[in-house]
Amino acid sequence: MDGKKKRSGPSGASPSRSAGVQSPAIVRKLQGEIRRLSQRLRETQALLEERESILDRLPTLITLMDSRLRFIWVNQAYADWYRLPRKNIIGRRVQDIIAPASFDAAERFMRSALEGQACSFENIAFGADGKVRGVRASYFPLSDATGKITHFVAVVEDVTAQKQAEQQRDQGRADLQTAHAQIKALRGVIPICAKCKKVRTDQGYWQILEAFIREHSEADFTHGLCPDCARHLYPTLKCTRKPQEGGEEG
C-alpha cells in the first residue's frame, strides 16, 4: 500500500452510490408518470361527473346501496322525492328513509338482489307530502373483481298516473259491459197478430204488444186515444186541436 487514503464524499461513501440520490433520467420518468396518472384521474372524474349529471336529469329515482342496505349514492330525483339534501340520505340505512310499509314489502327483493338475482316488483311509496304513490322498482346486483355481490342499483319509477289510467280503463270496460247487459234490443222478424196485434214470443205465447216491447227494450208507454178511436168511442165529442203537420187531428 502507498499509504494514500482514497477520497470519499461528505458521508464517506462514493458519490455514485450515495443513498437517496437518483439520476435526472429517473426523476423525469417519475414526473412524467405522475402527470399521466393525474391526467387520467381528471378524465375519470370528468366522466363520472358527466354520467352523474345525466342521471340527475332523469325523472326516475336511482340509488346505489351496499350489502348493509345503506345509501352509497342517490340521484337528484331521489333526493327531491323525499325533499332531503343528498348528504342527509347518503350513508343512512334505507329503512331510515322510506316508510316502514314500503320497506317491509321491498326488503325481500333487496335481499334477492344481494344474492345475485335481478328482480322487479310493484310497491307503494310515500313522498314527503304524505301522499301514497304507486311505484315499480327494479334491483340490479353489482359484484367486485372477485365476483362477490357487494352492492345493488335500485331504479324506481312513479307509475301512479299509469295505474290511474288503467283503473279508469277497467272501470270504463265494466261500465260498458253493464250497459250492454242492460240494453234490450228487438231484432229479426217478430210474429204479430193481424187483428189484435199480440206478439208471439219465442216460447210460443201470445203477449200484448206493449208488454213485449217493454220487456225487450228500454221503452215505456203512456196511453191516449187516436182520432179514429176517439170518434168511435165518443161520437158527440168534437176535437178542438188543430191537426199536426203530417198527422191526424188529435
Cα gap 216→237, rounded to integer Å: 37
* pLDDT tens digits, 230-245: 888 888 776 555 555 5
DSSP string for residues in 178-242: HHHHH-----S---B-TTT--EE-TTS-EE-HHHHHHHTSS--------HHHHHHH-TT----SP
* pLDDT tens digits, 113-164: 999 999 999 998 887 777 888 999 999 999 999 999 999 999 999 998 888 8
Q: Do the Cβ atoms of 217 and 186 come closer than 8 Å?
A: yes
Q: What is the pTM of this model?
A: 0.54
pLDDT value, residue 30: 78
pLDDT more than 90, % of the chain = 34
SS3 letters across 187-198: CCCCCECCCCCC
What single-letter amino acid sits at 97? I
Give the strand pairing for 199-200 and 149-158.
Answer: unpaired
Read off the C-alpha cell for 170. 277497467
* pLDDT tens digits, 184-214: 666 677 888 888 888 888 888 898 888 888 8
pLDDT value, residue 20: 55
pLDDT over threshold 60, residue 71: yes
Cα gap 91→83, rounded to integer Å: 17
Domains and CATH numbers, the chain: 58-162 (3.30.450.20), 186-240 (no CATH)
